[in-house]
Amino acid sequence: MLQPIHLAHTPADLTLYVAVYREVENASSLKQQLLAGNTEFEYAFIDASMILSTKQALAAVFRAINDYLNHRLKSRNIHSEIVFCLSPNNNIGEAFRRFGVSDATKDLLVIKVATTPDVTLESVGRHLSTHVQGQESPFDDATFRATADLDRIRKVYKISSLAPKATGRKPSTTSNGIPNGENMDATKNLEVQILGLMALRGAT
């Protein structure tokens, strides 16, 4: 299921390799590798419950690549920067606590940017299948509809879910994961707001 992606506007050789794992059993050991600074584990390990859609994830990658190309990464490398770019604020530690892999992570989004030629589909696939214990899932919106924790996402991005009370309307309660028309709209609106907040992060 590891998927190569080329993002629009980025140099042709900067391929991304993206995979989603559900029911991950060794999240804490993956986190340990990151904390230990093991260069073998240079990935963006993202808690998939914080991801609403592929667009949100890829928009963060796009910003991280742009910052990488402009030589102004705020964190250690392009992979940590991807996690940071999901954040609506400038606190790097908080970004990792909220969006990065944690001991409690069940569903994991993994992103690898091929910044050097030796990073290939085979090398990344081999390494991940050896070290991540979980079920591979496709990187698509259907997966994220199942994994996203909408309440927590709204809370982290400080986006209210309720319609203004002034009109006395019923609040548009949305239950997770069922793509009826109204929820598609609500998810779309949420995505638009998240993209805007991610893009404006750090603007003073």
Partner 1 sequence: MISTTSIPQREAQPFLPYPFTETQPPPHLVTQGAEALLYRTHFLTPSTAAALKARPSKPYRHPTLDARLTKQRVLAEARVLVKLSALASDPDNEVKVPAVFNLEWDAARKINGLTEDQRGARRTTAAGAWLLMEWIEGKSVKDLLREWDSWFMATGSTASPEEVQAQVEAVKRLLRRIGRAVGALHSKGGVVHGDLTTSNIMVRPATNSSTSNGSAAPTIDENAQADDMPARPPNFEGEIVLIDFGLATQSVQDEDRAVDLYVLERAFGSTHPRQEGQFDAEVLQSQEGYRGSYKGANVVLKRLEEVRLRGRKKSMIG
Establish if 58 lies at the interface with partner 1 (CB under 8 A).
yes
Q: Please select the residue that binds partner 1; options are 37, 117, 164, 168, rule is CB under 8 A.
A: 164
Q: Please select the residue that binds partner 1; options are 77, 89, 102, 161, rule is CB under 8 A.
A: 161
Helix, strand or coil, per DSSP, at residue 108: strand
Binding segment (CB under 8 A) for partner 1, from list 18-26, 27-35, 39-47, 163-171? 163-171
Q: Please select the residue that binds partner 1; options are 26, 66, 89, 183, rule is CB under 8 A.
A: 66
Binding segment (CB under 8 A) for partner 1, from list 61-69, 109-117, 131-139, 142-150? 61-69
d(CA 63, CA 85): 7
Q: Please select the residue that binds partner 1; options are 142, 146, 163, 178, rule is CB under 8 A.
A: 163
Which of 20, 27, 14, 16 has its CA nearest to residue 141?
A: 20
Helix, strand or coil, per DSSP, at residue 90: coil
End-to-end CA separation in angstroms for the chain: 40
Q: Please select the residue that binds partner 1; options are 18, 59, 82, 113, rule is CB under 8 A.
A: 59
Establish if 197 lies at the interface with partner 1 (CB under 8 A).
yes
Sign of the four-CA dihedral 195, 178, 107, 17: negative
Establish if 98 lies at the interface with partner 1 (CB under 8 A).
no
- Contact call for residues 84 and 75 (beta carbons, < 8 A): yes
Residue with smaller CB distance to partner 1, 146 or 196: 196
d(CA 29, CA 11): 33
Closest contact distance (angstroms) between CB of 101 and partner 1 is 23
Query: In what helix (H) or strand (E) does residue 142 lie, and over which residues does it extend?
Result: helix 141-147
Closest contact distance (angstroms) between CB of 61 and partner 1 is 9
Which of 48, 108, 113, 103 has its CA nearest to residue 79?
A: 113
Establish if 175 lies at the interface with partner 1 (CB under 8 A).
no
* Buried-state track 147-157, b at ≥16 Cβ within 10 A, e below 16: bbbbeebbebb
Binding site for partner 1 (CB under 8 A): 7-12, 55, 58-59, 62-63, 66, 69-72, 159-161, 163-164, 167, 169, 172, 184-186, 188-190, 192-193, 195-197, 199-200, 203
